[in-house]
Amino acid sequence: MAVNGIVNTYEDTSFQKKHSGSFYDGHKIINDPIHVCIIIYLFLKKKNDFTVEFIDTVQFQRLRDLKQLGPLYFVFPGASHNRFEHSIGVSHLSGTLVERFAREQPELKITEDEVKCVKLAGLCHDLGHGPFSHVFDNAFMPLARPGLNWSHEQASEMMLEYLIDDNNIDMESSEINFIKDLIAGEPRSKSRYQDRNFLFDIVANKKNSVDVDKFDYIERDAYNLGLRSSYDAKRLLVYSRVVNNEICYHQKEVYNIYEMFHTRYSLFKQIYTHRVGKAIELMIVDAFLAANNYLKIADSVNNPEDYLFMTDDIIRSIEKSKCAELQESRRIIKDIRTRNLYKFVDEFLVPPELESRLNKDTITSQDIANYQCDNAKLSEQDIIVTFTKINYSMNESNPVDSIRFFSKYNDRESFNISKKKVSYMIPSKFQDINIRIFTRDSSKMQSVQKAFRKYLSHITRTDLHSDPVVSVPGDYQVLINSAKRSRYSADISD
């Protein structure tokens, strides 16, 4: 029987009993708030699609326990979505795009095996994320194992191999390597796919950062946070085609692409780098570091069987533990629960001309402590310095400069579009670098701010002592304690 042109050979009822879900006529239906109805075909022309088999494994189900936005769930109650649904969404979009190319551009000679592997790459691209997602690989691991060149993409490859071996999934080694390369976004292994560059730009586009991973997370994050996105990912899927081995877009979609990058920038500016979210992130990192010697958290990245259980639930395991080795970690987690958080002190948006002088090497916690005033007794431990880069996905570069377009009159040739032909309101600079200062001791907020501004004034040769943007009152702790007492009194009276 054919389902939408795809041959259905789904006759084995044992497979249906093994894999749960809504099955109908050889396909599985997943209801999704973003893509509405995701249809997964179990077989493509008598070949196993493997998508359902991959989903119904402990390695993939682990993603249910990883919040997509990590610690931001402590700030935004709507940020409860997980890597699980995002990965299914990316697989769906990957399949939608590559199948459309196969259907509308038969000269590309896209095979069913290529379709299958692209969809599986979308499904598995986030298998390697650790507890609280990017907090683990961007913040914790560099401190826990400095010098280790590790990323969650590498862990995704490790977990992919573990998934296939542990569940006895019969796949060719060439297909497995192809999926790994699709996740990495480049053909690293010598294979027959080396001259098919467009396939490697679907899940993780290293050329210009326009890929289906971004399509899904921008729309999914905005939806769950109650924000409205002004760009339309569905149009980009429809108005794209392969020209000279590269994914190109209709010229009328250039502004839509700028809107996509601007939406991403806005999410980073308003949500992903939220001050309170960042404070909680810093506390989670401290809690993990305090527990690392006992729980061997950082060592888990070497063993997929250990890494399988490294999820957001680790903080619950720490909380319920009674051992003395985890006492400090438990204290920090309790402070998160009771909102006794690290305090945001100050920030400085680095001007372009100072970017080379103000970086992680030139401004440290100890540097700021050295400029303390009024015998404040500041120590390096009191101060946390963070650097936040917010851009259009390609650091200082305009990613649209690396995107090629086609016209309605000639879809066999591609060209670049200068931003001057789009709008004069498009930015001339595409990256902000922000220095933020936090303190672990709220009673030292004003002292830390004074020290930071004194140090910054020395570096910038500018008087920043009376900057009105952020100003900590001298009696801040008194105000906080008073507010707590008032709230406590109100609770009693109620």
Cite the active site residues. 152
Cα gap 473→483, rounded to integer Å: 15
Cα 332 to Cα 74, 281, 326, 466, 481: the distances in Å are 14, 11, 10, 33, 20
CA distances from 451 to 357, 366, 367, 380 (A): 18, 11, 9, 12
The whole-angstrom separation of Cα 358 and Cα 456 is 9
Cα–Cα distance between 300 and 142 in angstroms, integer?
14
CA 62/CA 44 separation, integer angstroms: 27
Closest CA to 4 of 31, 39, 34: 39
Both structure tokens of 207: 């050329």
Beginning with the edge strand found earlier in the chain, give each strand of the sheet holding 22-24 in spatial order.
22-24, 27-32, 36-41
Backbone angles phi, psi at 290, to 5 degrees: -65, -30
Coil, strand or helix at 416 = coil
d(CA 322, CA 324): 7
Q: What sign does the CA torsion over 65, 67, 72, 74 have?
A: negative
- The answer to whether the beta carbons of residues 66 and 312 sit under 8 Å apart is yes
| 82 closest CA partner among 68, 61, 62 | 68
- Contact between 16 and 22 under an 8 Å Cβ cutoff? The reply is no
Q: Alpha-carbon distance 287 to 332, whole Å?
A: 6
- Tell me, what DSSP letter sits at residue 228? P
Q: Is 393 helix (H, G, I), strand (E, B) or coil?
A: coil
The residue with tokens 């601007």 is 262
Asked whether the CA dihedral 114, 119, 122, 123 is positive or negative, the reply is: negative
- Give the span between the Cα atoms of 191 and 141, in whole angstroms: 33
From start to end of 225-304, where are the E strands? 240-243, 246-250
